[in-house]
Amino acid sequence: MHAGGGKPDAAVVRDALGVGVAVGLSGFAFGVTSAGSGLTLAQTCALSLLVFTGASQFALVGALAAGGSPLTAAAGAFFLGVRNAFYGLRLSQLLALPKVLRPFAAQWVIDETTAVSLAQPTRRSARIGFAVTGLSLYLLWNLTTLLGALGADAIGDTRAWGLDAAGPAVFLALLAPMLKTETERTVAGLAVILGLGLLPVLPAGVPVLAAALAAPVVLWVRGRRERERGSEEAL
């Protein structure tokens, strides 16, 4: 069956499952990293069940593992998670779900479900993509989180295996294709410079907060240039 004359439903499901499975497996890396940072099994699993946004989860446990305070770690995770609220605004218009389903769907508003949904040609296929990606990723992410936390002791140092970098690598791979405009690429580049440049001199977790300043700085500079250009044209 075709999704409203557009993409076949089977193709949407296949693509959505591909994303869900590929990203869901990195929950194992999160489970290992979280347990290695000192969180208990219950705390690690609760983060995946309730927070369910990989970048924020990795930011939290990464800051804790580096010796950052819980407050700073939570603040960094919060600022990374704020982007999901903006995703929700866009998806609410695209999916137009019944009100009774919206509170449940909100839990699945993340980078991956947004990317899959926005890539679809029709509302029907967007809904299918969102549901399949969200369900498969949520189930697999939580299952692999549990397995990773249970196997943390057997694996040992996560840095030796490179598992601490798996989550951020997946996040960057998904983010890169979305940086289509010059402003978006400038914000991303400045955020990287701020984060890496301040990493050696600021406490763990604080560079993430500083990197969040990239967006307002770039937008302010852009707005100022446009105002100056408008003034010159008026003269």
pLDDT, averaged per 10 consecutive residues of the chain (235 residues), comes to: 68 92 87 86 94 85 77 78 86 93 92 90 94 96 94 68 58 61 77 74 67 74 78 66
C-alpha distances out from residue 100 to 97, 114, 161, Å: 8, 20, 44
Using alpha carbons, list the distances in angstroms from residue 61 to 115, 183, 209.
25, 30, 15
Using CA of residue 44, residue 48, residue 52, residue 58, what is the dihedral sign?
Answer: positive
* Terminal-residue alpha carbon distance, the chain: 60
Domain ranges of the chain: 9-178, 180-235
Residue 162's pLDDT is 60
Residue 175 makes CB contacts below 8 A (sequence gap 6+) with: 111, 188
The whole-number pLDDT of residue 143 equals 96
Alpha-carbon gap, residue 232 to 31, rounded angstroms: 56
pLDDT at 68: 73
- Percent helix / strand / coil, the chain, rounded to 5: 80, 0, 20
